[in-house]
């Protein structure tokens, strides 16, 4: 009897681990917003931008939010996501995982093996410290994710020698980072048409590129 009880509890533990693991992330394009920090429009803008990056370079950026790490480290979780979902080109291993764990107040940027010699750690640290964490400390997670992802997309595009088209507006934190005044006029004129363009394009995103080569290189942060 005791042996059957032991097996039963082991099975319950295994099922619970699976339920809260990273094996069942619900990706909407390049985004798995399990903590529900993003609006649908924000997801669409990021997906369009990241899709353009994938088409031109094979690089994937997976944007993942979790309510909790469930006792795991943010580093091992990001690494598991990158490997399990085969993020990045199979030939280049140029994937990126941008992970945010809400209740643990931790984040991680993990880069693939193919980007380790192309992207400086100082640039990753700068994006973490100047573009993501200032928003997170104000509990403004959507703008932190938006700005961080746009900056990461620009960084990966530069490393891969391509130019990408950004969909949506990157949140601004200071005047020196603002676009010229005429950009806002054009954005206001195009705004009524942007929603329809996103809806028509959405749904055509493929999966990740089939890489998954990650060696544990990246940067973590707390807020």
Ranges under pLDDT 70 in the chain: 1-21, 174-206
Residue 15: count other Cβ atoms within 10 Å of its Cβ.
Answer: 10
Domain 25-202+210-215 falls under CATH 3.40.640.10: no
- Render pLDDT for 106-160 as a digit per residue (tens, 0 to 9): 999 999 999 999 999 999 999 999 999 999 999 999 999 999 999 999 999 999 9
pTM: 0.80
Residues 6+ apart with CB under 8 A from 213: 83, 88, 93, 95, 112, 113, 114
- Residue among 37, 60, 68 at smallest CA distance from 207: 60
């Amino acid at each position: 009897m005791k042996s059957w009880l032991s097996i039963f509890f082991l099975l319950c533990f295994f099922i619970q681990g699976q339920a809260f693991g990273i094996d069942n992330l619900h990706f909407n394009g390049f985004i798995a917003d399990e903590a529900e920090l993003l609006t649908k429009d924000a997801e669409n803008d990021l997906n369009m931008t990241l899709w353009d990056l994938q088409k031109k370079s094979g690089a994937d950026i997976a944007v993942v939010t979790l309510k909790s790490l469930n006792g795991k480290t943010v580093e091992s979780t990001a690494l598991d996501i990158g490997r399990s979902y085969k993020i990045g080109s199979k030939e280049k291993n140029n994937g990126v995982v941008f992970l945010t764990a809400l209740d643990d107040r931790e984040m991680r940027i993990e880069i693939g093996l193919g980007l380790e010699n192309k992207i400086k750690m100082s640039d990753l640290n700068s994006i973490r410290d100047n573009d993501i964490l200032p928003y997170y400390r104000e509990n403004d997670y959507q703008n932190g994710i938006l700005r961080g992802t746009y900056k990461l997309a620009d960084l990966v595009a530069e490393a891969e020698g391509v130019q990408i088209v950004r969909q949506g507006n990157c949140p601004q934190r200071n005047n020196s980072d603002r676009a010229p005044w005429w950009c806002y006029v054009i954005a206001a004129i195009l705004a009524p048409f942007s929603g329809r363009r996103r809806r028509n394009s959405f749904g055509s995103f493929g999966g990740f590129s089939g890489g998954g080569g990650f060696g544990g290189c990246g940067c973590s942060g707390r807020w």
